[in-house]
A and B are shown apart, each in its own frame.
Chain A
Amino acid sequence: DAGVIQSPRHEVTEMGQEVTLRCKPISGHNSLFWYRQTMMRGLELLIYFNNNVPIDDSGMPEDRFSAKMPNASFSTLKIQPSEPRDSAVYFCASSLKGEQFFGPGTRLTVL
């Protein structure tokens, strides 16, 4: 099993640009989670899906953030427009029953 796959691994962009992060969950898992990790705030849950349906997006910081899961094998997290304070590592995780498996993360730097 390849595990959770995230792309890109690193992204450097300029303020105001659109950023799209991608995630492929483990096959057969029915829940998908997007997290953000920073030194100041630690690990924060942004949004999660169950069976491709968004269940809780209360962690999404602003309307600039949006997430989709068009099918069971793909999800995106989009930031438009990006700001320097969005710089962080973004993790995707998938699970079947409780135990979550994390991807390697995308390190986003917004200049």
Chain B
Amino acid sequence: AQSVTQLGSHVSVSEGALVLLRCNYSSSVPPYLFWYVQYPNQGLQLLLKYTTGATLVKGINGFEAEFKKSETSFHLTKPSAHMSDAAEYFCAVTFASGAGSYQLTFGKGTKLSVIP
């Protein structure tokens, strides 16, 4: 079975500081990994994804994440936080659930606050 653990339900950073949101996963098969962002009163939007190949993936808005198989981690980072980054972030892992379909397992989310 697959699972995702996001460490820290709330993270606060100062504007301009490094953003680090942690995600660990468990999967019995090679995973596809995702980070989604949800702004207030909106749906989830894909930030970035890892499928195969390069383990450092870059996404929108200056975010990136690195797949580390040995640590079963997929942490999300951004060098310098901006006020507009305040949102909730979800890590997810997907697996083939039969009949050609793929089901996402989401973490519980991390709410990021950016302090001016």
A39 CB, nearest partner CB in chain B, Å: 11
Digitize B27-41: 1 where CB-to-A-CB distance is under 8 Å, 0 elsewhere: 000001010100000
Can you offer 26 A-B residue contacts whose CB atoms are under 8 A? A30-B101, A31-B101, A31-B102, A33-B103, A42-B109, A48-B101, A48-B103, A50-B100, A55-B97, A55-B98, A55-B99, A93-B44, A97-B102, A98-B34, A98-B49, A98-B94, A98-B102, A98-B104, A99-B46, A99-B94, A101-B46, A102-B45, A103-B43, A104-B42, A104-B43, A105-B42
B106 at interface by CB-CB < 8 Å = yes
Q: Is the CB of B99 within 8 A of A50?
A: yes
Question: How many chain-B residues does the 8 Å CB contact rule pick out?
Answer: 23
Report the minimal beta-carbon distance from B17 to chain A, rounded to whole angstroms.
26
Given A43-B90, A56-B103, A98-B94, 13 more pairs with CB closer than 8 A = A42-B108, A43-B44, A43-B106, A51-B100, A55-B98, A55-B99, A91-B43, A95-B102, A100-B104, A101-B46, A102-B44, A103-B43, A104-B43
The secondary-structure label for the interface of chain B is strand
Interface residues of A in 27-54 (CB under 8 A from B): 30-31, 33, 42-43, 45, 48, 50-51, 53
State the interface size on chain A (CB cutoff 8 A).
25
**Which residues does A use to contact B, with CB under 8 Å?**
4, 30-31, 33, 42-43, 45, 48, 50-51, 53, 55-56, 91, 93, 95, 97-105
